[in-house]
């Protein structure tokens, strides 16, 4: 009787999760997959085939943008890690109590406004007639206005800014769980800053690093607004291509194929990253 | 000519803002000895140990290891190693990597690290466990690995920060003996801090009792137990019955005190520290009191008094009887000799107790 | 007992609500920003009892949204007239207009007729004209007074200070400016491809001149206002809005002709409130209401006497940009044949990829 009841409770609790998974994730993907393997041959006429995938591989623009997006997302992830690690270390290990909470909250503040507003903020800073250009001119470092916007570096700045919180949070959590005496023991046994970072702190923080990297990589890869607004004439982003296919070209078939390729790419790179860092998904996400 | 001490502190002081954690502490530890610092929590012993390890720098005073001042030398440059309270074994490394960590930092080549790690693990009685993970070891094994990790570096001084605190009672008793024999085996100077007097008493060659940032007394276990120099040491090391009252007579080191409830006590003091009319406290160890069931017992002296048994606390060898003085109502704890004589002792019985005034210590009550 | 009463009350409530709904509908309007001002909605709701829910969008998203729901989710949409027949042919997302329910006298006859012609598919009319406007050049006349045609954007003198969208109007504008006639070639794939090839080459060469390809209306207005861009391809309303702040900046009808568009009323195939939709159409085409919309949207309407209450400033700006010759020279978008976007898309992709 009790076991029946607890079973019912178990299924009731499971139901929203299953519903979410099936209705919002699995079903749309199945639909998308069927769209992606239908080729348009005429008005309201479709055939099943892999032609859309062939288009991707035959058109250099598409797979170059694909590769570019992947490489820039990986660079963004690396940059976010390099910038986020010291911040997380400072918050987790050098501060206590209220200072810690305050610093953590300060990291959260940019997320109280929408991504669009944040990106516009960067546009105000970086544009030719913007704050940075004017400030540099007034202190005499540059003689005329300089355009910082509309290039890949601006995209990177925007992406790092947008995603750094998702790196800091898991890092702070894992670094917090590192007993200070481990670091002291490292020094006591003759280690220096570098060797302790390499042999003790980083191995301990590895699950946090990997989960942070996965989230940041996914966020960058799937970002749409930041590359569109901050990027320049040649700064194509794969999600932009997908949007174009779906919305302006009315080509849902190719757009779906692109969507699946993006899914495959992100899964592939995450898998590779886990293998390289010798972590498992359960270890990283289950903490 | 005596050898240079392995560790010497001279007027070592540490201030935190307006709080003085360590106050002008001076001591030296001769080579190859087991030195303990015993004190209640908050007495400053951890700060002192961290200054020796190099994690904190003294406000004033000097700290020397093998005659060399360590002021301004970082923890990774000092010839001392530390066993942490929770051991701080690195969970991301196996045992071999843990023990070899220090050697790797020194740039020792791989094959030598391997042999030295194996040798030190053998010496702590754990051969062939280099490939195990930290969490595959028992509590006692972890202790020994933590010691091996330090000893492989052949430090001049090994610091131990209450490493037995986390162990259960049985294992703790066992590890006390083992630590002492490991120290003898390596013949290295151990500096051990603890708040547990029995750990200090069993293992140490010398013990410093620390209170409020100062050393109250440095001496052997015997000295501290039998000849405590202060009321704090008398009360902290071992158990004691404590009475407070007025000094009525002083004759050399022999004093008489009358407690507030009117119990007359004879005790010994340190010459010249108390005078008649002053308030004083008297400490008598429960195990120093002789007990008899009738007044005529041959063992008892003339000043034996009769008491009523208020209760008996049975705890094997450490069983206590709580007695109440028939006249004054003062309470006295007495260790029950386990000779069979007092097996049938019950609440309400009358017994006779007496002690040698030489074993009762009298100190001035501070702040008069 | 309590439960039964509750159930009964609920049933009653639901019935009551559906009865009211039959009389006063909710009109789900899919339109452009500015086409349904709050004061107009208020007046409409007060007069008819309907309620209006507005979703603002653009041509492409309107079609994508209706395609995703097979023409459901909205009761009235306002895509441009050239995008109706091809979308209808491909996706079947609209339903024909019942002309008997439209007060045709409120529409300028020539526009009504032209739109009907352009939106006829298999014998049925699908669109009614509402707002019209053009796209051409927005120029800072003080700094780039020489820019009078699309191809002038590629001139050395404005290098790095021009912007346009990487979209089909750019292809068409440039084609006209180069002396070609893309609209005439709409139905001839081979000829159209040849035109696209020439335009593609010109735009690839022009790429170095462009500061950035703009995407949103606010973005191009910021670029022009800050002076970072001195000449751009953009909508007339954008130019007139900027003119209000900075007299140097205004809309210029290009020599090759401004590109004219007409936004229409269409009924989504699965719309549920046709009554409210026709009520809305007849309401907003009244001269005084049409003027209110022109004042907020910045573009003129197809309503008879629709300019009666339009602000004098707007009229003046319009007349400043368009003389009679320029009006006669407007190139009105004909219906886009299905499949044309694929050709244009490929050309745009190649321009984007070129270095």
Domain CATH for A219? 1.10.3720.10
Q: What is the pTM of this model?
A: 0.83
HSE, CB side, 13 Å, CA atoms: give it for residue C5.
2
Q: Indicate the burial class of C354 (C-beta count within 10 angstroms; 0-12, 13-18, 19 or more).
A: middle
Nearest-CB residue to A187 (from B75, B91, B92) = B75
User: Per the domain annotation, does A204 fall within a domain?
Assistant: yes
CB C332 within 8 A of CB C135: no
Kindly compute the dihedral angle of the four CA atoms of residues B312, B314, B315, B317, in this order, to the nearest 10 degrees.
Answer: 90
Q: Taking residues B35-60, report their average pLDDT.
A: 93
Min Cα separation C299/chain A (Å): 24
Q: Assess contact for B269 and B227: CB atoms under 8 A.
A: no
Amino acid A96: pLDDT: 86
C210, A233: Cβ pair inside 8 Å?
yes
Chain C touching partners, 3 or more CB pairs below 8 A: A
Closest CB to C215 among A147, A228, A232: A228
pLDDT per residue, tens digit, chain A (287 aa), is: 456 777 888 888 888 888 888 888 889 889 989 999 988 877 777 888 888 899 899 988 899 999 999 999 999 999 999 999 999 999 999 988 899 989 988 888 888 888 888 888 999 999 888 899 999 999 988 888 888 988 899 999 999 998 999 999 999 999 999 999 999 999 999 999 999 999 999 999 999 999 999 999 999 999 999 998 898 888 889 999 999 888 888 888 999 999 999 999 989 998 998 888 887 777 666 55
Q: CB of B253 within 8 A of CB of B241?
A: no
Answer whether residue A9 is part of any domain. no
CATH code of the domain made up of C134-259+331-353: 3.40.190.10
C with B: touching (≥3 Cβ pairs within 8 Å)? no
Q: Token pair for residue A147?
A: 């355009």
Alpha carbon distances (Å) from B341 to B307, B345, C136: 17, 9, 118
Nearest to A181 among B86, B93, B106 (CB): B86
Q: d(Cα A105, Cα A198) in Å, to the nearest integer?
A: 29
For B7-232, CATH number?
A: 3.40.50.300
* Residue boundaries of the structural domains of chain C: 2-132+261-325, 134-259+331-353
Question: What's the pLDDT at C3?
Answer: 42
Q: Is A100 helix (H, G, I), strand (E, B) or coil?
A: helix
Query: In which band, very low, low, confident or very high, does the pLDDT at B297 lie, cut at 50, 70 and 90?
Result: low
> Is A46 near chain C, with CB under 8 Å?
no
- What residues contact residue B146 under an 8 Å CB cut-off, 6+ apart? B83, B84, B87, B88, B89, B163
CA distances from C272 to B139, C16, C267, C278 (A): 75, 18, 10, 12
Question: Rounded CA gap, C186 and C188, in Å?
Answer: 6
Would C2-132+261-325 and C134-259+331-353 be classified into the same CATH topology? Answer: yes
**Ramachandran angles phi, psi of B21, nearest 5°:** -80, -40
Q: CA of B122, closest CA in chain A: separation in Å?
A: 20
Contacts of A129 in chain C (CB under 8 A): 226-228
Is A228 among the domain residues? yes
Say whether A283 sits in a helix, a strand or coil.
Answer: helix
Q: Does A97 touch chain B (CB under 8 A)?
A: no
* Assigned domain for A32 exists: no
Distance, C-alpha B252 to centroid of its chain: 31
What confidence score (pLDDT) does residue C212 get? 92
Give the ipTM of the model, two decimals please: 0.83
When the pLDDT of each residue in chain B is averaged and rounded to a whole number, the result is 89
Tell me whether strands C124-125 and C331-332 are parallel, antiparallel or unpaired.
Answer: unpaired
Question: Does position C16 have pLDDT exceeding 50, yes or no?
Answer: no
For chain B, residues classed under CATH 3.40.50.300 are 7-232
Q: Is A153 left (phi over 0), alpha (psi -120 to 50) or beta?
A: alpha
Between these two residues, A177 and C4, which has the higher pLDDT value?
A: A177
Q: How many domains does chain A have?
A: 1
Among B78-87, B343-352, C111-120, where is mean pLDDT lowest?
B343-352
| Residue C12: pLDDT over 80 | no
Query: Under an 8 A CB cutoff, do C212 and A247 touch?
Result: no
The vertex-A160 CA angle with A154 and A164, nearest 5°, equals: 160
Report if residue A2 sits inside a domain.
Answer: no
C228 contacts A128? CB cut-off 8 A = yes
Placement of tokens 């339903």 in the chain: C95
**Binning pLDDT at 50, 70 and 90, where does residue B302 land?**
low
User: Do A43 and C345 count as a contact with CB atoms less than 8 A apart?
Assistant: no
Chains that touch B (3 or more CB pairs under 8 A): A
Beta strands in B134-211 (DSSP E): 157-161, 189-194, 206-211
CA angle C313, C331, C117 (to 5 degrees): 105
A155 contacts in C (CB within 8 Å)? none
Domain C2-132+261-325 has CATH 3.40.190.10: yes
> C214 and C163 in contact (C-beta within 8 Å)?
yes
Structural domain including A158 reads 59-285
> Nearest 10 degrees: CA dihedral of B313, B316, B318, B323?
30
Q: In the CATH scheme, what architecture does the domain B239-364 have?
A: Beta Barrel (2.40)
């Amino acid at each position: 009787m009790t076991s029946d009841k607890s079973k019912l409770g178990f299924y009731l609790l499971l139901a929203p999760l299953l519903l979410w998974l099936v209705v919002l994730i699995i079903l749309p993907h199945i639909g998308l997959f069927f769209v992606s393997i239908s080729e348009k041959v005429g008005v309201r006429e479709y055939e099943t085939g892999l032609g859309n995938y062939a288009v991707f591989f035959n058109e250099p623009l598409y797979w170059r943008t694909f590769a570019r997006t992947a490489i820039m997302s990986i660079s963004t992830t690396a940059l976010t890690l390099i910038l986020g690690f010291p911040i997380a270390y400072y918050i987790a290990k050098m501060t206590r109590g209220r200072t810690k909470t305050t610093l953590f909250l300060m990291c959260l503040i940019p997320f109280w406004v929408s991504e669009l507003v944040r990106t516009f903020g960067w546009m105000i800073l970086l544009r030719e007639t913007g704050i940075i250009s004017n400030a540099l001119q007034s202190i005499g470092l540059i003689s005329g206005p300089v355009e910082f916007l509309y290039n890949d570096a601006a995209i990177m700045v925007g992406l790092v800014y947008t995603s750094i919180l998702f790196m800091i949070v898991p890092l702070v959590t894992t670094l917090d769980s590192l007993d200070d005496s481990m670091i002291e023991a490292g020094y006591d046994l003759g280690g220096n800053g570098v060797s302790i970072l390499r042999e003790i702190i980083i191995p301990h923080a590895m699950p946090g690093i990997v989960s942070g990297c996965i989230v940041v990589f996914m966020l960058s890869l799937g970002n749409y607004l930041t590359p569109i607004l901050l990027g320049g004439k040649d700064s194509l982003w794969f999600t932009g291509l997908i949007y174009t296919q779906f919305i302006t070209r009315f080509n849902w078939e190719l757009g779906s194929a692109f969507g699946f390729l993006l899914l495959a790419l992100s899964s592939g790179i995450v898998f590779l990253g886990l293998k390289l860092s010798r972590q498992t998904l359960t270890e990283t996400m289950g903490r | 000519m005596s050898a240079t001490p392995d560790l010497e502190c001279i007027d070592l002081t540490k201030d935190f803002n307006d709080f003085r954690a360590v106050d002008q502490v001076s001591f030296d530890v001769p080579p190859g000895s087991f030195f303990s610092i015993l004190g209640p929590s908050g007495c400053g012993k951890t700060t002192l140990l961290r200054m020796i390890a190099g994690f904190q720098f003294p406000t004033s005073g000097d700290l020397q290891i093998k005659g060399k001042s360590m002021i301004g030398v970082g923890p990774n440059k000092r010839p001392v190693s530390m066993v942490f309270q929770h051991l701080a074994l690195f969970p991301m490394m196996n045992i071999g990597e843990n023990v070899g960590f220090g050697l790797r930092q020194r740039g020792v080549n791989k094959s030598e690290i391997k042999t030295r790690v194996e040798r030190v693990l053998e010496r702590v009685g754990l051969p062939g466990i280099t490939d195990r993970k930290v969490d595959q070891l028992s509590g006692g094994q972890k202790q020994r690995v933590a010691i091996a990790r330090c000893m492989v570096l052949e430090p001049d001084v090994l610091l131990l920060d209450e490493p037995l605190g986390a162990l259960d009672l049985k294992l703790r008793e066992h590890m006390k003996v083992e630590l002492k024999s490991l120290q003898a085996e390596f013949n290295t100077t151990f500096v051990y801090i603890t708040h547990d007097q029995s750990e200090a008493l069993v293992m140490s060659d010398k013990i410093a009792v620390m209170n409020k940032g100062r050393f109250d007394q440095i001496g052997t276990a015997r000295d501290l137990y039998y000849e405590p120099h202060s009321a704090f040491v008398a009360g902290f090391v071992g158990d004691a019955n404590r009475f407070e009252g007025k000094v009525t007579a002083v004759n050399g080191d022999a004093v008489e005190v009358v407690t507030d409830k009117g119990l007359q006590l004879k005790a010994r003091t340190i010459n010249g520290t108390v005078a008649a009319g002053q308030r004083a406290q008297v400490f008598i160890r429960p195990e120093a009191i002789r007990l008899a069931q009738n007044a005529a017992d041959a063992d008892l002296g003339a000043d034996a008094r009769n008491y009523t048994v208020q209760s008996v606390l049975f705890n094997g060898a450490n069983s206590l009887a709580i007695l109440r003085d028939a006249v004054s109502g003062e309470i006295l704890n007495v260790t029950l000799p386990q000779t069979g004589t007092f097996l049938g002792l019950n609440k309400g019985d009358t017994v006779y107790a007496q002690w040698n005034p030489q074993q009762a210590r009298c100190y001035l009550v501070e702040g008069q | 007992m309590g439960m039964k009463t509750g159930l009964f009350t609920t049933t009653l409530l639901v019935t009551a609500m559906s009865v009211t709904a039959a009389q006063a509908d909710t009109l789900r309007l899919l339109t452009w920003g500015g086409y349904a001002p709050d004061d107009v909605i208020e007046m409409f709701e007060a007069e008819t009892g309907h309620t209006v829910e507005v979703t603002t969008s653009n041509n492409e998203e309107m079609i994508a949204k209706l395609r995703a729901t097979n023409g459901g989710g909205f009761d009235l949409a306002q895509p441009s007239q050239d995008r109706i027949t091809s979308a209808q042919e491909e996706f079947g997302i609209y339903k024909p207009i019942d002309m008997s329910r439209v007060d045709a006298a409120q529409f300028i006859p020539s526009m009504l007729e032209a739109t009907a012609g352009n939106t006829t598919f298999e014998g049925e009319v699908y669109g009614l004209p509402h707002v019209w406007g053009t796209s051409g050049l927005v120029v800072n006349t003080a700094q780039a007074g020489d820019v009078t045609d699309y191809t002038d954007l590629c001139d050395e003198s404005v290098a790095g200070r021009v912007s346009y969208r990487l979209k089909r109007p750019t292809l068409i504008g440039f084609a006209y400016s180069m002396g070609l006639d893309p609209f005439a070639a709409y139905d001839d794939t081979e000829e159209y491809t040849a035109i696209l090839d020439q335009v593609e080459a010109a735009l690839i060469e022009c790429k170095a001149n462009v500061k950035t390809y703009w995407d949103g209306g606010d973005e191009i207005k910021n670029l022009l206002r800050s002076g970072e861009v001195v000449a751009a391809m953009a909508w007339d309303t954008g130019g007139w809005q900027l003119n209000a702040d900075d007299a140097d900046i205004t809309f210029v009808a290009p020599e090759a002709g401004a590109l004219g568009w007409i936004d229409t009323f269409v009924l989504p195939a699965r719309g549920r409130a046709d009554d409210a939709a026709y009520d809305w159409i007849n309401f907003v085409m009244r001269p005084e209401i049409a003027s209110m919309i022109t004042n907020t949207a910045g573009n003129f309407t197809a309503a008879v006497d629709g300019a009666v209450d339009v602000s004098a400033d707007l009229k003046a700006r319009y007349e400043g940009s368009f003389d009679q010759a320029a009006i006669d020279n407007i190139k009105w978008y004909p219906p886009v044949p299905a499949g044309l976007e694929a050709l244009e898309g490929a050309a745009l992709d190649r321009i984007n990829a070129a270095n």
